[in-house]
Amino acid sequence: MLGAMYGDVALRIPFNPQTGKANEEQAERAFYKRGKMIRPGWKEPANTRLSAIISLRYVSVGWVRYNKLAATDPSVQEPGAELDFDPHEQKLGVIVWENAFAAIPFPRDLFCGEYDEIYGRVADRQSSVFAGSGLFSYYAAMKVRTDRPPKSAAITRD
């Protein structure tokens, strides 16, 4: 979604012409070309009346709970095994994709539910600025690292 808003996602790696080598430690994600909110070479952003794009998604909490249980108790995988929960349970959540160039910013207190997530501008970067408590539990069960900074990408006007 961020690629559609700001342009193709790319990896920017500084190059030193004197040494002929790239500085991989300074590599960062960035947006280039074909974005609908800003494009390279434009002086002013476009579509500033659009404050955010909101997408709905289902979070498969039952499936994660089932896999976690199956890892410690293989008997739940037997045909006819009784479960005290629905392995197909899903929770509805939204992802708010804020427009960094919006004339009127989208209020960050509107979608703050357990399975909601907000991506917004922090300094000159687009990053995750909110994730509900249900998502943290879900990501932990999926063994997704939550102890590192959220992924972000630079927003530039050049």
In tens digits, what is the pLDDT along the chain, a chain of 158 residues?
Answer: 666 666 666 777 778 788 877 777 777 766 666 666 665 666 677 677 788 889 999 999 988 888 888 888 888 888 888 888 898 999 999 999 898 888 899 998 999 999 999 998 888 777 888 999 998 888 887 774 444 444 544 444 44
Distance CA 62, CA 68 (A): 10
Q: How far is C-alpha 8 from the geometric centre of its chain's CA atoms?
A: 15
Q: How far is C-alpha 139 from the geometric centre of its chain's CA atoms?
A: 12
Write down the pLDDT at residue 157. Answer: 44
> Where along the chain do its domains lie?
48-154
Q: What is the pTM of this model?
A: 0.66
Write down the pLDDT at residue 34. Answer: 63
